[in-house]
Amino acid sequence: MSSNTGRGLQPNVLGTFDTIVMAVAGSAPAYSLAATTAVLVGAVGLAGPAALLYCAIPMLGIVLAFGRLGRIDVNAGASYSWVGRTLHPCLGFLSGWALVVSATIFMVAGSLPAGAMTLALFDPGLADNTGLAALVGAGWFLVMLLVVLGGARLTVRAQLLMTGVEVLLLVLFLLAALLHKGSAAAFDWSWLGFSHFDGASGFASGALVAAFYYWGWDVTSNLSEETRNSRRTAGVASLVGVGVVLLLFVAFTVAVNTILTSEQIRAGSGNVLGVLGDEIWPGVGGKLLIIAVMLSTVATLETTLIQVTRSLFAMGRDRTMPSALGTVHERWNTPWVAIAVVGAVALVMLFAATALGSVGDVLSDAVNAISLQIAVYYGLAGIAAVAAYRSMVLTSVKNFVLGGAWPLLGSAFMFWIFFESLGELSTASLVIGLGGLAAGVVPMLWYWRQGSTYYRPAKLDAARAIEAEAAYSGSASTRHDGPRDAMATDF
């Protein structure tokens, strides 16, 4: 197999629309609703729509942070690079490690429902067979592994098909839900308020689960080295993607409150969307929404594979993890070693997880564990954005709000829900979530002692970076597919 250890990723493969599709697919609306609604209802009851709505406000602050950081440092490692160059390399490494661990755990949390949904299409009774679901899910996972190995162009074509059908089915059922006469409860505006939360800790529990719903839009940043004009495209695509999934999440959670009883939601467990589909359109509806969830799950397995393998590629390139991870396939321009390693580890974890219990049990623990790790690396990115733009924050009201206050609010919110929810989580969630983070200290210290240049970074300063970019643009060719996109960002 021919390969090289250069920078290697193929530039200018994705356009703006492609990147928006990747952002929506990363958040996986149908999968998130099917797999996580029971967990959300268990945490906050009827306040599910409010948790999703209020979590979106600080989440948008993190989206702004990613967009602004991506403008001044194009790097497949995203927060791993940004946090390391603004706050401290150790925090940067742990930020990247949090993404790697959460994404690897998600291979289990995504593959199991993909298998269960596929089985449910043929026989609903088979969906509860954890071992069989793991086997079929492993098949889907391997298919996505091969697609990601085939390169960014093949990946986005597969995404356009899967996410297009998924969103079309979701919109169709939203319209049908509006015409359906609810059997569980009448719509109440209080569902969008704070009255249904059980105090601050109850709100934090709901917000932690809501963070998992939105997670994944930042795949646009990990694809930045493969995106045309990515300094602006990645940030815009993330904003549009989060806006689209916010509307879908809140609308469907309201529909669940209206149409399904708490008993139906609990019984539905990891397939709440299928139960909702059967209520709206008996016989056919459940099958159609199961197809939507299956496509969404497979699509988000693909985007999560991109995130974790691009992050590992950046780490291998920087020698903060084994340098082989930075190896790129000469023909496909993909980090094939990182893809192979993640594939092997995820498959072992997938079959080990079948010993933990039902699909629903595994999902609940995995969602909460992943949410802890998401809160860490999103929170660090918010602070990094303010640090990078610190000399510009007070130059205008716009810079103060979009570059300072909002990202800082997002960061504070992420760390608040992290600490506030610790007392509410199961032992399994805490061991997986915190233990996974702590494990990163070992490779961090090892490669620090090996002398990786990552631990002696060129500091990231927005004012200097933008000034240098403007000077470079004025003297270089105006073509976007030429040297400008390959410009070094270590100003």
Q: Is the pLDDT of residue 236 over 50?
A: yes
Q: Is 100 a domain residue?
A: yes
Within 8 A by CB and 6+ apart from 429, the residues are 364, 365, 368, 369, 372
User: Helix/strand/coil (H, E, C) string of the chain?
Assistant: CCEECCCCCCCCCECHHHHHHHHHHHHCHHHHHHHHHHHHHHHHHHHHHHHHHHHHHHHHHHHHHHHHHHHHCCCCCCHHHHHHHHCCHHHHHHHHHHHHHHHHHHHHHHHHHHHHHHHHHHCHHHHHCHHHHHHHHHHHHHHHHHHHHCCHHHHHHHHHHHHHHHHHHHHHHHHHHHHCCCCCCCCCHHHHCCCCCCHHHHHHHHHHHHHHHHCCCCHHHHCHHHECCHHHHHHHHHHHHHHHHHHHHHHHHHHHHHHCCHHHHHHHHHHHHHHHHHHHCCCCHHHHHHHHHHHHHHHHHHHHHHHHHHHHHHHHHCCCCCHHHHCEECCCCCCHHHHHHHHHHHHHHHHHHHHHCCHHHHHHHHHHHHHHHHHHHHHHHHHHHHHHCCCCHHHCHHHHHHHHHHHHHHHHHHHHHHHHHHHHCCHHHHHHHHHHHHHCHHHHHHHHHCCCHHHCCCCCCHHHHHHHHHHHHHHCCCCCCCHHHHCCCCC
Q: What is the pLDDT of residues 434-464, one digit of tens each?
A: 999 999 999 999 999 988 899 998 888 888 8
Q: Tell me if 213 sits within 8 A of 368, measured CB to CB.
A: no
Task: Please name the amino acid found at residue 60.
Answer: L
Query: pLDDT category, 279, cuts 50, 70, 90?
Result: confident
Cα–Cα–Cα angle for 158, 39, 247, rounded to 5 degrees: 55
Q: Is 464 a domain residue?
A: no
Q: Is 463 a domain residue?
A: no
Its domain, for residue 8, covers 3-455
Q: Is the pLDDT of residue 288 over 80?
A: yes
Q: Is the pLDDT of residue 183 over 80?
A: no
| CA–CA distance, 236 with 174 (Å, rounded to integer) | 26
Percent above pLDDT 70 for the chain: 91
Q: What is the CATH number of the domain that holds 42?
A: 1.20.1740.10
Q: Is the pLDDT of residue 489 over 60?
A: no
Q: Is the pLDDT of residue 384 over 80?
A: yes
Q: Tell me if 296 sits within 8 A of 62, measured CB to CB.
A: no
Q: Is the pLDDT of residue 476 over 90?
A: no
> What pLDDT is attached to residue 470?
66
Q: Is the pLDDT of residue 232 over 70?
A: yes
| CA–CA distance, 350 with 435 (Å, rounded to integer) | 18
Q: Is 460 a domain residue?
A: no
> What pLDDT is attached to residue 264?
82
Q: Is 112 a domain residue?
A: yes
Which tokens is 289 given? 């929404």
Q: Is the pLDDT of residue 191 over 80?
A: yes
Q: Is 389 a domain residue?
A: yes
Q: Tell me if 47 sits within 8 A of 206, measured CB to CB.
A: yes
Q: Is 481 a domain residue?
A: no
Percent above pLDDT 90 for the chain: 42
How many structural domains are present in the chain? 1
Q: Is 431 a domain residue?
A: yes
> What pLDDT is attached to residue 107?
83
Q: What is the pLDDT of residues 418-427, one digit of tens each?
A: 888 888 788 8
